[in-house]
Structure 1
Amino acid sequence: EQVSEKNYDSFMTVAEYLKSHEETILNYFPDRHTNASAESFNAKLKGFRALVRGVRDIKFFLFRVAKLYG
Protein backbone atom coordinates (compact mmCIF):
# COMPACT_ATOMS: atom_id res chain seq x y z
CA GLU A 1 0.00 0.00 0.00
CA GLN A 2 2.83 2.41 0.83
CA VAL A 3 4.45 1.75 -2.55
CA SER A 4 1.21 2.47 -4.35
CA GLU A 5 0.79 5.70 -2.41
CA LYS A 6 4.35 6.85 -3.21
CA ASN A 7 3.92 5.95 -6.88
CA TYR A 8 0.68 7.92 -6.93
CA ASP A 9 2.40 10.94 -5.34
CA SER A 10 5.17 10.77 -7.95
CA PHE A 11 2.65 10.46 -10.75
CA MET A 12 0.70 13.45 -9.45
CA THR A 13 3.89 15.52 -9.26
CA VAL A 14 4.65 14.76 -12.91
CA ALA A 15 1.03 15.37 -13.93
CA GLU A 16 0.99 18.76 -12.18
CA TYR A 17 4.27 19.73 -13.86
CA LEU A 18 2.96 18.77 -17.29
CA LYS A 19 -0.27 20.67 -16.71
CA SER A 20 1.52 23.82 -15.56
CA HIS A 21 3.89 23.73 -18.57
CA GLU A 22 1.37 22.44 -21.09
CA GLU A 23 1.50 25.44 -23.43
CA THR A 24 5.29 25.50 -23.54
CA ILE A 25 5.53 21.76 -24.13
CA LEU A 26 2.91 21.75 -26.87
CA ASN A 27 4.50 24.81 -28.49
CA TYR A 28 7.42 22.59 -29.57
CA PHE A 29 5.43 20.30 -31.84
CA PRO A 30 4.04 22.51 -34.66
CA ASP A 31 7.40 23.92 -35.80
CA ARG A 32 9.88 22.00 -33.61
CA HIS A 33 10.96 25.20 -31.85
CA THR A 34 13.34 24.89 -28.93
CA ASN A 35 15.54 27.29 -27.02
CA ALA A 36 18.71 25.43 -28.06
CA SER A 37 20.14 28.44 -29.90
CA ALA A 38 19.67 30.66 -26.84
CA GLU A 39 21.28 28.03 -24.62
CA SER A 40 24.20 27.73 -27.05
CA PHE A 41 24.71 31.49 -27.08
CA ASN A 42 24.58 31.59 -23.28
CA ALA A 43 27.27 28.90 -23.11
CA LYS A 44 29.49 30.81 -25.54
CA LEU A 45 29.00 34.02 -23.58
CA LYS A 46 29.83 32.26 -20.33
CA GLY A 47 33.03 30.88 -21.87
CA PHE A 48 33.96 34.30 -23.20
CA ARG A 49 33.39 35.88 -19.80
CA ALA A 50 35.78 33.34 -18.31
CA LEU A 51 38.44 34.33 -20.85
CA VAL A 52 38.18 38.06 -20.17
CA ARG A 53 37.79 37.79 -16.45
CA GLY A 54 38.50 41.05 -14.69
CA VAL A 55 37.66 43.33 -17.60
CA ARG A 56 36.47 46.64 -16.23
CA ASP A 57 35.48 48.35 -19.47
CA ILE A 58 31.88 47.27 -20.12
CA LYS A 59 31.76 49.00 -23.52
CA PHE A 60 34.81 47.07 -24.68
CA PHE A 61 33.38 43.81 -23.35
CA LEU A 62 30.12 44.33 -25.25
CA PHE A 63 32.06 45.36 -28.38
CA ARG A 64 34.08 42.14 -28.25
CA VAL A 65 30.96 40.03 -27.71
CA ALA A 66 29.25 41.70 -30.69
CA LYS A 67 32.28 41.14 -32.94
CA LEU A 68 32.78 37.53 -31.94
CA TYR A 69 29.18 36.33 -31.75
CA GLY A 70 27.14 38.98 -33.55
Structure 2
Amino acid sequence: MMIWMNWEQTQEELRSRIKAQRGAQADIAKRAEVSRATVSEYVNGGRNIPVGHLSHILDVLKLDMTLTAKRDG
Protein backbone atom coordinates (compact mmCIF):
# COMPACT_ATOMS: atom_id res chain seq x y z
CA MET A 1 0.00 0.00 0.00
CA MET A 2 1.39 3.38 -0.99
CA ILE A 3 0.60 6.48 1.06
CA TRP A 4 1.48 9.98 -0.12
CA MET A 5 2.88 12.17 2.68
CA ASN A 6 4.99 15.25 3.05
CA TRP A 7 7.91 15.28 5.53
CA GLU A 8 5.84 16.64 8.42
CA GLN A 9 3.21 13.91 7.93
CA THR A 10 5.94 11.28 7.59
CA GLN A 11 7.52 12.37 10.87
CA GLU A 12 4.15 12.23 12.65
CA GLU A 13 3.52 8.71 11.32
CA LEU A 14 6.97 7.56 12.41
CA ARG A 15 6.54 9.13 15.85
CA SER A 16 3.23 7.38 16.30
CA ARG A 17 4.68 4.02 15.27
CA ILE A 18 7.75 4.41 17.49
CA LYS A 19 5.54 5.22 20.49
CA ALA A 20 3.35 2.19 19.77
CA GLN A 21 6.24 -0.30 19.54
CA ARG A 22 7.61 -1.29 22.92
CA GLY A 23 11.38 -0.86 23.14
CA ALA A 24 11.66 0.98 19.84
CA GLN A 25 13.15 4.16 21.31
CA ALA A 26 15.90 2.25 23.09
CA ASP A 27 16.67 0.19 19.98
CA ILE A 28 16.81 3.29 17.78
CA ALA A 29 19.09 5.04 20.28
CA LYS A 30 21.44 2.06 20.36
CA ARG A 31 21.60 1.72 16.56
CA ALA A 32 22.00 5.48 16.01
CA GLU A 33 24.56 5.70 18.84
CA VAL A 34 22.69 8.49 20.64
CA SER A 35 21.05 8.74 24.04
CA ARG A 36 17.49 7.60 24.65
CA ALA A 37 16.76 11.18 25.72
CA THR A 38 17.73 12.39 22.23
CA VAL A 39 15.37 9.91 20.60
CA SER A 40 12.66 10.87 23.07
CA GLU A 41 13.03 14.53 22.03
CA TYR A 42 12.24 13.88 18.41
CA VAL A 43 9.65 11.22 19.13
CA ASN A 44 7.75 13.64 21.34
CA GLY A 45 7.92 16.44 18.77
CA GLY A 46 10.57 18.55 20.49
CA ARG A 47 12.69 18.51 17.36
CA ASN A 48 12.68 17.11 13.83
CA ILE A 49 13.71 13.53 13.22
CA PRO A 50 17.32 13.61 11.99
CA VAL A 51 17.58 12.30 8.46
CA GLY A 52 20.66 10.34 9.52
CA HIS A 53 18.49 8.30 11.89
CA LEU A 54 15.87 7.45 9.30
CA SER A 55 17.40 4.14 8.22
CA HIS A 56 17.65 3.01 11.86
CA ILE A 57 14.03 3.96 12.50
CA LEU A 58 12.82 2.15 9.40
CA ASP A 59 14.83 -0.96 10.37
CA VAL A 60 13.47 -1.00 13.92
CA LEU A 61 9.89 -0.50 12.70
CA LYS A 62 10.39 -3.01 9.85
CA LEU A 63 9.31 -0.44 7.26
CA ASP A 64 10.44 0.48 3.76
CA MET A 65 10.19 3.97 2.32
CA THR A 66 9.79 4.71 -1.36
CA LEU A 67 10.44 8.06 -2.97
CA THR A 68 8.79 8.94 -6.26
CA ALA A 69 9.00 11.88 -8.60
CA LYS A 70 6.26 14.47 -8.34
CA ARG A 71 3.62 14.31 -10.98
CA ASP A 72 2.95 17.46 -12.96
CA GLY A 73 -0.49 18.96 -12.57
State the TM-score, normalizing by the size of structure 1: 0.33
Larger fraction in helix: 1
Using CA pairs under 8 Å that are at least 6 residues apart, name the structure with larger relative contact order, 1 or 2.
2
- Highest Rg: 1 or 2? 1
